[in-house]
């Protein structure tokens, strides 16, 4: 059965709820960026400030953002070497966490440091300065945990 025509079959339009502000302006392995301890501000549009009420009760958040610096060529990739390492196997882009993908949506679990009005200060976000924020969700351990999860050997290879 085919879905009825409607917005879901004609396309998806997203409106950012805010922007990332941080010191990260370049991506890639050559830039040697360590996002894990980096601090970022999630600047929510004022209209969405009240939507953050209650996040202070969570130690961690899930941030979805648009990797806005991905080129049209990178969005057409179907296969790549993870972490741009030729010693790792060539795999489909959906088997990686690379931002180079058809819809460059980033997802990161971050530590919430503080909230001041429409600004959430977080640690560990791997987004570049100016990245549009798509959504923010609370991190709930029993929701995010996958019991018995497995990963391919190449994923645990040293960098």
Q: What is the pLDDT of residues 14-69, one digit of tens each?
A: 999 999 999 988 765 455 667 778 899 999 999 999 999 999 999 999 999 999 99
For the domain that residue 109 is a member of, what is the CATH number?
2.40.30.70
Q: Is the pLDDT of residue 73 over 90?
A: yes
Question: Does residue 79 lie within any of the structural domains?
Answer: no
Q: What is the model's pTM?
A: 0.86
Cβ distance 16 to 132 under 8 Å? yes
Domain membership of residue 32 as a residue range:
13-68+104-141
Q: How far apart are CA 60 and CA 126, in angstroms?
A: 14
DSSP 2: P
Instruction: Give every CB contact of residue 79 below 8 A, 6+ residues apart in sequence.
Output: 90, 91, 92, 93
Question: Does residue 25 lie within any of the structural domains?
Answer: yes
Question: Does residue 136 lie within any of the structural domains?
Answer: yes
What would the pLDDT profile of 107-118 be if each residue is shown by its tens digit? Answer: 999 999 999 999
- Structurally, how many domains does the chain consist of? 1
Question: Does residue 119 lie within any of the structural domains?
Answer: yes
Mean pLDDT, all residues of the chain: 89
């Amino acid at each position: 059965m085919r879905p009825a025509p409607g917005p879901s079959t004609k396309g998806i339009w997203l409106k950012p709820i805010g922007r990332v502000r941080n010191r990260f302006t370049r991506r890639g392995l050559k830039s040697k960026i360590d996002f894990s301890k980096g601090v970022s501000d999630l600047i929510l549009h004022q209209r969405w400030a009240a939507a953050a009420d209650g996040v202070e009760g969570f130690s961690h958040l899930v941030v979805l953002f648009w990797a806005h610096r991905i080129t049209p060529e990178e969005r057409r990739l179907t296969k790549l070497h993870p972490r741009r390492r030729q010693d790792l196997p060539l795999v489909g882009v959906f088997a990686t966490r690379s931002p180079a993908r058809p819809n460059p949506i980033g997802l990161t679990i971050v530590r919430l440091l503080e909230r001041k009005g429409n600004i959430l200060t977080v640690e560990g976000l791997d987004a570049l300065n100016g990245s549009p924020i798509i959504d923010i969700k609370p991190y709930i351990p029993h929701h995010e945990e996958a019991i018995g999860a497995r990963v391919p050997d190449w994923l645990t290879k040293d960098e």
